[in-house]
Structures are given as C-alpha cells and as structure tokens.
Structure 1
Amino acid sequence: MDKWIYWLEEVDASFNDIVGKKCANLGELKKGGFRVPPGYALGLVAYDRFMKETGVMERIRDFLRDFKADPQNPGDTIKFEEVSSLIRKMVEETPMPKDMEEVIKEYYEKLCEKTGLFPTPVATRSAGPVSHPGQYETYLNVKGADQVVLNVKKVWSSTFNARSLIARARLNLPLEYDPIGVAVLTMVNAKSAGVMFTLDPSNGDISKVVIEGSWGYGEAVVSGSVNPDRFKVDKVTLEIEERRISNKDQWYVFDEVQEKMVYAPVPEELREIPCLTDEEVVELVKVAKEAERHFGCPQDIEWCISKDYSLPESIFLVQARPESVWGKKEKQTVIGKKDPFELVLKRATTPIRIRS
C-alpha cells in the first residue's frame, strides 16, 4: 500500500505532488537548516484513501448529480454555499478508516514525545499540490489525538467550501474530488508573527526585504484582519530604511475560557509600539536572505517569533513559497547592475545629513 504519512524531515521539494506544496516546502526548509516547528504531513494518498474507501466521494457525486449553478454568475454563489455546507457536514461526519485513524494518532503521540508537551497544540494546515493561498482552511491550537483526526477531516472538507467549488466549476474540474495534503505542525508560542518578502512587493525591488507583522499569531496578518507594522530593509547593509508602526488594536489568540482561537483586544500599552525590535527585524532579514538563496528565487515567507527562546533561535518559519507577482517578471533592482560592494562603498562615502 502506498505510503501516505511522513515526518517533515522525510520530505523535501521533490515531494510537492506527494504531500502538497506547503508540506514539501516545510520539509525542504528543515533540510536547509531553517527552524521549522516539529510536525508531520499527510499526503494526497491519504485524502484519496479516505474519500474512496469510505464511499464519501461516491455519495458526494450522487448528491451533486442534479446540481446546477453558474460559477460565473454572482447570483448563484448562494447555491454553491448551500451545497458546500451539506457536503462538508457529510465529509466531517464520515468516520476515518480505522487503520488511518490509528496511524494519525500514533504520529501525534510521537510528536508529543518530541516536544515534551502533553498534549501538544498543533495547527492542521492545508497543502495543495498547486499553491492556492487562502482557498483551503487551517485550524489552530488543536489539542489531543481525537481532535487532530477531526481537524484533518475538516481541512479535507475545506476542499468543498464554496470558493473551492466555484473555482473547480469555472475550470470544468470534478466537484467531488480535489486531493490535498495536510500539515500537522506544532504551534509556536508566538510573541509576534507575520509575513516577509525578499523583494519590495510594491515595485519589485530585489535589493529590499519587506516585513509585515503584528502581535500574536500570524493569521491576523495573512488574512488582512489587522493593520500590521511594516519594515523595509536594505538587503546588503541591513539598514532599516522605512518603518511604519500601526495601531494594532486586536490580535488572534487562544481563549482559554472558550477553548478556541479568537480575535481579542490588544492591551493598550502594546497597540502603538513595534511588534519587533530592530534586532529581530535584522535577524528576520538574514533568515529571509538565506531562504531566497536556498530556493533560488524571491520568497513569500510566513514567520513567527517564539516567547520560549532567545534570538535568533526564537525565529520559526511556517511557510515559504515563491513570491507570486514580481518574482515571475524580469525585474531589474533599483540599484541597477551595481555590485553590492559598490553600493556599500557609496553609502559609506555619502555625507550624513543631520536633522535638527
């Protein structure tokens, strides 16, 4: 029987079509020496086995047999939302094949032994073989083996959310089947988190690194739910050229009472101060440059700073993918064809203007 579950240490970029792009890149980062939270990956075969062995794929196909809606017509969105809700319930209520459930739980127990946390909080993250940022779903702070199994199914069921169904319908792809991988990744006890680009996303300047971040977990920044702090840094000199500190009035945190992730008010004393120190910004840039060098192209990276470690060991990467706009273009850096040493020399010999 085909292997369908892997420790992240077992995979790399060549596993893209086996475990999905996100899982493959996380394994590649680990092999490259970057700090990635401990975790494991369920491959596309796991989705395939679940959907076929349980018969749920055939049930979905039968359910959709008479479904008619125009994916190009915004007025039909409600039809996709209605069938989505029913199909997702069908998937999530279907029991996992017993042998698969036992293996997923065994891997989780071993993960707990690795981290020394019982239970270890994890994120279950979608990993399609082709990158579709924001199309599928992630679940955070999942604790306990039973909950991991349930949330793996919830990630799989997100292939039937309305936007995924509409996307497949527009491409004339089967609605009842869309195999993805799942990353089960240890949660980082995040002080702050966000994204960074190894070029300036506003103009494609590859001589810059741009970092956006906020307090708490990074989903608030990735989803656009908060107005993040922003830092623009010169790649060569590591000088912070621009900083924009926002009023960060909410963060995404785990509510112990409700036992779920929620958006909550940020304490007043943190709202208008930087979520990163200058030292953290510089260390993030160093990591970003190494990731770009490792993958050989501009990167879009999700990062977090752990409360549990000192810099630079506090920096963890939870996603890295090619920057999707400027990275595909032939774009000359703002510094032209100058050698990096020439740029440093020019900076060193430029008179300093003192502001009074």
Structure 2
Amino acid sequence: MKNLVKHLKSIFSFYNKGTSELMSFRLIFTRFRQVLDSHNRAVEIIADMGDKLGGDYLFDINYIKKAYSELSDAMYNSLEDFDILTKNKYLKLHDVFDNIDALIKRTIYDIPSACNELILLCEDIMWERYSEVGGKSANLAEIKNYLKINVPDGFAITTRAFDEFIKHNGLNEKIESLVEGVVKESALNELQDLVINAEIPPELNDAIDSAIKRFEKGFRKDNNVPLACSVRSSAVEEDGEFSFAGQFETIMNVPLECGSVEDAYKRVIASLFSPNAVLYQQTIGYDIRKAKMAVCCMLMVDAATSGVIYSANPNGDDSTMIINSSWGLGKSIVDGEVDADLYLVSKGANPVILNTRVGEKNYMLTRQNNYKISMVKLPDDMVKRSSLTEQQAIELSRHAMLIEKHFRKPQDIEWAIDKDGRVFILQTRPLRVQETQAVIRMSEAARQSSKSTEIPIPEFAESDTTRFLANTRNDLRQKARSDNILMKDKGIVVQHGIGAGRVFIMKNMDDIDNFPKGAVLVARNDSSNFIRIMPYASAIITDVGVPTSHMASLCREFRVPAIVNTGNATQILRHGQEVTINANDDSAIIYNGIDDELLEHADTSFMKMENVYEFRKKRYLLRYISPLNLIDPLLDNFTPEGCKTIHDILRFIHEKSVMELVETAMVGLKGQGMVKLDLPIPTGIVVVDIGGGLNITEDRVGKYKDRVTFEQVASIPLRAVLKGMMHTGVWHADAVSLGVRDFLSSMMKMSDITSNSMEYVGYNVAVISGEYLNLSLRFGYHFNMIDCYCSENTRNNHIYFRFIGGATDIVKRSRRIQLIAVILKKYNFNINIKGDIIIARLANIRQDEMDNILDQLGRLIAYTRQLDAVLNDDGAVERYARQFMEEKY
C-alpha cells in the first residue's frame, strides 16, 4: 500500500501539467538533484553500516534497526524521485526493493523463512533463496545459472523439508533438550539413531520421487552407466562465513531411486548432530538447537580426475592459484589421504603453470556399477604420471578466476573431469586467506614450564654503541636458535603462525581422546576429525597431506599453525618433547624447546569478534545491502531484475537518472545545452548546460555542431577540474587506451553523440552553470563524483567529492583510498573513509582558493585512475603521495 500511494503521487505529480513535454529542463534537473541527494544519503548509510558491521565496533541490535530504518526511508525517497524523473519507466524496481527489504527485515527481526517448497531444482534456485537451500546449493546454482559453468544437475531438499521432517517425527523436544555447552555424546548418539530410523513425511516422499523421475527421463536413455547421485549437506551457514569443512556427511554413488535417496538424506540430517559437528558449531558460536540442514542432491560425475583449486594462494599471494589433483574421485584429496599432484598457476588473462609437483599416487577412489565406492591400486605407469594435462590445468584456472570474480573473494573449489574431458564444478566456498600477521598458540603449561634461554652478553664499556650491543645479542641468539633446529623447510605451510608446546604423536584416531590442551599434534595423515582438538592445539604437523584438504581449511578457520606433507615428522619429533613451530610464508622451522622471544613478537589474537554468532548473524544482512553486482551498463543484466542488493538498485537509479538527463537534453535542448566535450584526453564527458556554463555563438555551433572545446567552457568549476586533468604528465595515455574494453571502453561508449540510436550508456556527464558543477566520472570500475558551487560569496561555496571502487583486491583498493585521503587532507578536506568509499567535503572557501583546489582534484582523479594496480605495499602510499605533491607524475 505504501508503494501504491507513492506511485500514484509520482504519476499525478508528474502529469500535473497534462503531458511530460511541458516539463522544463530546469524542473528535470531539480528532480535529478533530488535523486542525487537521496542516492548520496543511502550510499553513506550503507558505508556506515558496512563499517560498523565490519568487525571493529561493538554495537547492539538497536543500531541496526535504526540504521536500516534510515536506509529504507532514503530508498523510498530515491525511488519516488526516480519515478518522477523517468516517467515511471522502471516501476519493477519497487518489487525488487520490496523483496530485498523483506529479506533484510527477516534477518533483523528474526522472522521465520516463508519457504513453501520442499524441493527446489538447481535452475530454480535464485541467490535470495540462500537461507532455504543452504550455502552449498546456493553457490552451485549461482555458478550454473549465472556463469554457465558445468555443474552436475541436481536439486535441493529445503530447510522447510527439514522442519517438516523434524516435526513429523516429534524430534523437536529432543533437540530443544540439548543444553548448549554441556551436550553429552550419548544424547547426540541417541538423537542420531532416532533421525536415521525416522519416517519421511508423505509429502516429502512424493516431492523427492517426482524430482528423481525427472532425471530418469532425461538421462537413462543416453547413458548405459547406472544413474547415481551424491547426497550432500547444505546447512544454512555452510560454505559461507565458515566452511564446516568435513563436518557433515556426504553419501556418494547413491542409486537414483526414492528409497535410497531418502536413506542417504536421513544420514546427512543425522550428521548435523554428530559430536564433531556439534563441537565445531559450539566453537564458532552456533546454537545447535537453532541449526537447520538443507541437503544437496546432484548426479555423480564419472570422474577420471578430481581435485581442489584455490583461486588464491592461501599463504597470502593473490597473484597465484593452487591446484591439487589425483586420479578418480576427489574425496581422497579433501580427506588428506593421498599424495596428490600440485600445480602453482599464475593469475591473469593467460594463466601460466609456474611449478608442478607430481605426487606418488598409489591408489585411486572410484565408483563401481554396484553403487559402491572402492579404493583400487593404480598401475605403475599412473603412479607418478601427472593427473592433469596443461590444457586442463589452464581451463580449471580460468574457471576459478571467473568464480572468484563473481563471488568477489578467493574461492576454495572442488572439481571433477569426467571421462569425456568435461570439467564440472562440485562445490565452491570462500577461501580463508592468511592474515598478514602470524598467530601465536601456546598452552599455559608450556609458558610456565619454559625456561629462560637468555644468552649471556659480554660486558662493554659505556662508550660502545647501543646498536653494536643489539646486533651482537641478536647474532648470538640467532646462532643459539640455529643450533636448536629440529626440522627446516619440509612440508607445506597451510596456516601461518607460531605454536609452542609438548609434542603429542598420534598413532591412531583413538589417541585423540588423550590429547592434552596446548600440545602440538603430530600425525601420519591429516583428518577433519582433528576439529575435536583444534580449539586448544598449539599446532598441527602431519607426514602426509595437501593444502586443499578439509583439515587445512579448518586450521585456517581456527588459526591453528599447521604444516602438512613433511614426510617424516612423526619420526623426527619425540612424544613429550617441547618444541616451537615458526610457520611463515611457504616455509617452516621447528625448534627444540620453547623460544620465548619468538612468542613475544607474535600476534596474540586468536578468535576475532566475527566468531560471535549474533554478530555474524546480523552482519549476514550485509549480503543483501553492500555488494555491487551491477557494474557495466552495457551488459544484458543491467535491468531491475538484475539488481540483487540495495547497492545494485542505487547503481541502477544513478545510471538511468544520468541517462534520462542526457536523453531529455538531446531531444528537448538540442543545440541549446547538450554537447560533447572535445578534449586531448579520452574522458568521454558530455555537458548539460543549465545556464552560463558554455560560451557558444551561433557561428561556433554551426561549425562544431554538437562539440565544444575546453576554450568554450565558461563554468568556473568545470574549467578548473579539466585544467587539472589535462595537466602535463598527469594522464598516462600509454596505461589506458581508449579502445581497450577492460579499462575505459567497458564504461565509456564513445560512439557519436548524434547517433539516432539514443544509446548514451556509459557517458561521463557534467551538469554545469557558470558557478555550479555536478560531474559524474566512471573510469573502468572506478567511480568519481564532484558536486561543487564556486561563487564570489564564500559562504555559499562547497566541494563534495566521492570516490568508490576499483577492480583489484581489497588491499590494493584500500591503499588507493589511503593515498587519496593523504593528498586531500593537505587541502583541508574533511575525510570520511568507509570500506572502499572515500567521501571528502570542504566548505566556506574563497573562489580563488577553490580554483586551485579543483585543479588539484582534477589532477588527482587522473593520477589515481589506474594506480591501485601498482600499490603493491604499504610504503607505496607515502611514496606516490609524495610524488604527487612534488608534481612528479
């Protein structure tokens, strides 16, 4: 009803003169300014929410309610002004916002999901149904439906089905009786037995049977191999903020018939209540009584080769990817049971294999026609043969980069290649990349038992320098430390950090029950069952393992320093021996004894505030607010239906508002104010003059038609900005070519402005008068906006500048934001940084001062246009800022 009233108001307001043609361009511009004002307010609220929910602030639910109420009001105002400006062309946008608004309020106010379906086919799963199908199914549907990458056909059994199953079998009381923190293993085992022996509700049985028959019709006639599926967990938060790697059951090679699928479904549901899974959930702050399990059913791939690819090196190098592969099914890799092949691949338009290590693969896991999974011995010629061709590794790398780009963060991807050579993606989830600082793990017992190993330093006269003393002390300590090395440069570091404690050598899994808190676990193979001791393990070391296993993922989540594939750590280290592990970058050293100095210099943080369940639950709503998916207006998905977040809606509103202004000016003001700016640099700016902004005579118009030069710009602020952008050396033409789509052409369509097609998508627009400028600039993925008034009356003068975005990773984008801030502060701007957004304001400035500041602002826009790509270290910020101030562009 609220939207209906607003729509009617928009219609009557717009047509109060009887026809849209009667609206003056000044009125259109007024509406445009109103859209910008509400747009700016909404963007600032989003940035503030992201800042508050990003992990550095404590807050309560009242802040979230208040902030979102303000954001919602700003969105309604923006939509109303947008309707009037665009003559109600995009009313569908209201429905999109209403859907997103409902999802956000459901999260804020704990409103139960309105999921009605028991089964959802993969092609019917949209992103907003994440909470109904769980993380695994939602992510795979994104890849299949939007990226068009091969994903095995399948369906999701929803959280509503889970609720119905629990209710039908009267299990709610049993679940509610689980007291958090003191759950007995016997109670969990009893609950698991009840689930496995429970009855499938008739309605769910019919839904599963119907989904299976659909697959039988489509595949049986074309394939002589018996149809089978994998039945996998897809819990609500799985493969999201936390991976739940290896904690829930996966049943492989299940006959594609109703009874078998239902039996497998119950086993997966039962795994939600396994002791290891419950411990994991308690450790990260989940209330097991509120957990929900959706299940993903997908056709089995007859895999010749399988594995895992990390779209970034988890040790922190985002310029490379890691592929692990082996023959047959990939379960042996993620379980850490095989010496898999490893490929290091560079990122880029043309990925290159930088290094290869072929493992000794004696066995492979394969599916049998009797629906069994068997480990079979490989023939000798396959044991040390690479399981991937170069072409296959490159194809996988391209898929990984595309998936990472889509989800906007590094990904941990499981894949398989069938016997026909087709690549399938089986799972993707966020990859936890190493923090820049190491993590310290040490038991109190180890701290108390450690003895001082202070090296005696010879006495020197008072005249000897402090530096000499420090260097001598350091040299002696380094020598003592090198004498204590037990193992060096062996294995693969999967989690950086420093750990210290007594060695606990685990000979079989039963030994884990005797693991003492703070000890260093040393084992032959890695295992996701190590979750039971991870909250209080100082470090984990294995003889065999791969960096892409479930255990490796869990170590990164819990920040347990870990080294895998050392070969013989169980033989080198002694049970009960005190050791210190220093794992950093791609190497590791294990010292005999407790090294206090190493421990003192390590970061003592372990669990961040993000591990608190309620905090993370509320931050979850940011997925509906902050991500910007709608970037390129030239793409087919730049529609109201393509908007997945509030940020997308704002992007759509802004782009279409600018285009409405341009098209109106072209139709109604041709020859009076709408012209293309002809500059020696490829800015793609078109100008809308609302009075006094251009100096054009009739003769000049006749000669230049719809183009003007810099000399004809009369607008004081625009002249100043352009002068800065054209300053000698500041615009690097060799770095950005006008015809390169990856840079300017994707955001600037440089077709002739007189085209009859009226396709002005991607132009940069300056709305000007003699003293006013509103300039919107888009260079690639970078968005600049300047709004300023520059008159002789100092009190009326202002500059508002906003910069958003970038195509590189968050670290480099943040460095560019810091660089811009450093420079703007030198001109007394008030700076507000929120994520990858910088907002700068300056007011009450004399006209002559403004002219110089706007000149510098123009230079800064041109100077930083592609600068994020070269800001490779924190020192680069100061270096490039100094060069800018010294005019060394």
Match of 1:123 among 224, 230, 242: 230
Q: Quote the Cα distance in structure 1 between the aligned partners of 2:325 and 2:254.
A: 23
- Specify whether residues 245 and 61 from structure 1 end up closer, same or farther in structure 2 by C-alpha distance, changes over 3 A only: same
Match of 2:260 among 147, 150, 168: 147
- Specify whether residues 332 and 141 from structure 1 end up closer, same or farther in structure 2 by C-alpha distance, changes over 3 A only: same
Q: Residue type matched to 2:258 in 1?
A: A
Contact kept? 1:205, 1:331, Cα under 8 Å:
no
In the TM superposition, what is the alpha-carbon distance from 1:243 to its structure 2 partner? 0.3
Match of 1:270 among 363, 382, 385: 382
In the TM superposition, what is the alpha-carbon distance from 1:60 to its structure 2 partner? 4.9
Report the counterpart of residue 318 of structure 1 in structure 2.
426
SS in 1 for 2:412: strand
- Specify whether residues 48 and 327 from structure 1 end up closer, same or farther in structure 2 by C-alpha distance, changes over 3 A only: farther
Report the counterpart of residue 354 of structure 1 in structure 2.
none
SS in 2 for 1:37: coil
Match of 1:95 among 195, 199, 204: 199
Q: Quote the Cα distance in structure 2 between the aligned partners of 1:94 and 1:50.
A: 8
User: Which is worse superposed, 9-18 or 273-282?
Assistant: 9-18
Report the counterpart of residue 197 of structure 1 in structure 2.
310
In the TM superposition, what is the alpha-carbon distance from 1:284 to its structure 2 partner? 0.8
The reply to whether residue 48 of structure 1 matches residue 163 of structure 2 is yes
Contact kept? 2:231, 2:264, Cα under 8 Å:
yes
Report the counterpart of residue 208 of structure 2 in structure 1.
104
Aligned residues: 320
Contact kept? 2:188, 2:274, Cα under 8 Å:
yes
Q: Quote the Cα distance in structure 1 between the aligned partners of 2:318 and 2:289.
A: 42
SS in 2 for 1:337: helix
The reply to whether residue 223 of structure 1 matches residue 335 of structure 2 is yes
- Specify whether residues 275 and 173 from structure 1 end up closer, same or farther in structure 2 by C-alpha distance, changes over 3 A only: closer
Report the counterpart of residue 747 of structure 2 in structure 1.
none
Q: Quote the Cα distance in structure 1 between the aligned partners of 2:283 and 2:346.
A: 42
- Which stretches in structure 1 are left out of the alignment for 5+ residues? 72-78, 340-356
Report the counterpart of residue 299 of structure 1 in structure 2.
411
Could you report, residue by residue, the CA deviation over 1:119-145 in whole angstroms, capped at 9, with x for unpaired residues? 520000101121222111110000022
Q: Quote the Cα distance in structure 2 between the aligned partners of 1:130 and 1:177.
A: 12
The reply to whether residue 240 of structure 1 matches residue 347 of structure 2 is no
In the TM superposition, what is the alpha-carbon distance from 1:297 to its structure 2 partner? 1.9
In the TM superposition, what is the alpha-carbon distance from 1:53 to its structure 2 partner? 2.0
Report the counterpart of residue 217 of structure 2 in structure 1.
113
User: Which is worse superposed, 165-174 or 237-246?
Assistant: 165-174
Contact kept? 2:121, 2:156, Cα under 8 Å:
yes
In the TM superposition, what is the alpha-carbon distance from 1:305 to its structure 2 partner? 0.3
Report the counterpart of residue 164 of structure 1 in structure 2.
277
In the TM superposition, what is the alpha-carbon distance from 1:70 to its structure 2 partner? 4.5
Q: Residue type matched to 1:2 in 2?
A: N
Q: Quote the Cα distance in structure 1 between the aligned partners of 2:384 and 2:311.
A: 26
SS in 2 for 1:231: strand
- Specify whether residues 12 and 151 from structure 1 end up closer, same or farther in structure 2 by C-alpha distance, changes over 3 A only: same
The reply to whether residue 85 of structure 1 matches residue 189 of structure 2 is yes
Q: Quote the Cα distance in structure 1 between the aligned partners of 2:171 and 2:377.
A: 41
Q: Quote the Cα distance in structure 1 between the aligned partners of 2:870 and 2:279.
A: 47
SS in 2 for 1:276: coil
Larger RCO, structures 1/2 (Cα 8 Å, 6+ apart): 1
TM-score, length of structure 2 as denominator length:
0.34
Report the counterpart of residue 28 of structure 1 in structure 2.
142
- The 5 A counterparts of 1:273-284 are 273-284=385-396
Q: Residue type matched to 1:211 in 2?
A: I
In the TM superposition, what is the alpha-carbon distance from 1:167 to its structure 2 partner? 3.3
- Specify whether residues 112 and 285 from structure 1 end up closer, same or farther in structure 2 by C-alpha distance, changes over 3 A only: same
Q: Quote the Cα distance in structure 1 between the aligned partners of 2:351 and 2:153.
A: 30
Q: Quote the Cα distance in structure 1 between the aligned partners of 2:120 and 2:218.
A: 15
Match of 1:137 among 218, 239, 249: 249
SS in 1 for 2:869: coil
In the TM superposition, what is the alpha-carbon distance from 1:175 to its structure 2 partner? 4.3
Contact kept? 2:302, 2:367, Cα under 8 Å:
no
Q: Residue type matched to 1:181 in 2?
A: A
Contact kept? 1:112, 1:119, Cα under 8 Å:
no
In the TM superposition, what is the alpha-carbon distance from 1:273 to its structure 2 partner? 0.4
Q: Residue type matched to 2:154 in 1?
A: G
Could you report, residue by residue, the CA deviation over 1:21-49 in whole angstroms, capped at 9, with x for unpaired residues? 00001111111211000000011111111
TM-score, length of structure 1 as denominator length:
0.82
Contact kept? 2:313, 2:433, Cα under 8 Å:
no
Q: Quote the Cα distance in structure 1 between the aligned partners of 2:359 and 2:266.
A: 37
Contact kept? 1:251, 1:264, Cα under 8 Å:
yes
In the TM superposition, what is the alpha-carbon distance from 1:271 to its structure 2 partner? 1.0
Match of 1:185 among 298, 320, 336: 298
SS in 2 for 1:241: strand
SS in 1 for 2:351: coil
SS in 2 for 1:196: strand
Q: Quote the Cα distance in structure 2 between the aligned partners of 1:297 and 1:171.
A: 21
Contact kept? 1:300, 1:321, Cα under 8 Å:
yes
Could you report, residue by residue, the CA deviation over 1:321-350 in whole angstroms, capped at 9, with x for unpaired residues? 2212249995569xx9349xxxxxxxxxxx
User: Which is worse superposed, 169-178 or 23-32?
Assistant: 169-178
Q: Quote the Cα distance in structure 2 between the aligned partners of 1:250 and 1:164.
A: 29
Report the counterpart of residue 350 of structure 1 in structure 2.
none
Q: Quote the Cα distance in structure 2 between the aligned partners of 1:9 and 1:301.
A: 20
Q: Quote the Cα distance in structure 1 between the aligned partners of 2:406 and 2:217.
A: 30
The reply to whether residue 290 of structure 1 matches residue 822 of structure 2 is no
Q: Residue type matched to 1:100 in 2?
A: L
Q: Quote the Cα distance in structure 1 between the aligned partners of 2:386 and 2:189.
A: 40
Q: Quote the Cα distance in structure 2 between the aligned partners of 1:128 and 1:60.
A: 16
Q: Quote the Cα distance in structure 2 between the aligned partners of 1:141 and 1:249.
A: 22
Q: Quote the Cα distance in structure 2 between the aligned partners of 1:51 and 1:221.
A: 34
Could you report, residue by residue, the CA deviation over 1:127-179 in whole angstroms, capped at 9, with x for unpaired residues? 11212221111100000221001111111111011112223455775545521
Match of 1:14 among 128, 131, 138: 128
Q: Quote the Cα distance in structure 1 between the aligned partners of 2:148 and 2:285.
A: 41
Contact kept? 2:125, 2:138, Cα under 8 Å:
yes
SS in 2 for 1:160: coil
- Specify whether residues 229 and 18 from structure 1 end up closer, same or farther in structure 2 by C-alpha distance, changes over 3 A only: same
Report the counterpart of residue 345 of structure 1 in structure 2.
none
Q: Residue type matched to 1:29 in 2?
A: I
Q: Quote the Cα distance in structure 2 between the aligned partners of 1:168 and 1:292.
A: 27
Contact kept? 1:298, 1:327, Cα under 8 Å:
no
Q: Quote the Cα distance in structure 2 between the aligned partners of 1:8 and 1:327.
A: 35
Contact kept? 2:306, 2:415, Cα under 8 Å:
yes
SS in 2 for 1:20: helix
- Specify whether residues 3 and 296 from structure 1 end up closer, same or farther in structure 2 by C-alpha distance, changes over 3 A only: same
Q: Quote the Cα distance in structure 1 between the aligned partners of 2:417 and 2:870.
A: 34
Q: Quote the Cα distance in structure 2 between the aligned partners of 1:175 and 1:296.
A: 30
Could you report, residue by residue, the CA deviation over 1:86-142 in whole angstroms, capped at 9, with x for unpaired residues? 221210111101121121011011112222358520000101121222111110000
Q: Residue type matched to 2:157 in 1?
A: L
Contact kept? 1:19, 1:182, Cα under 8 Å:
yes
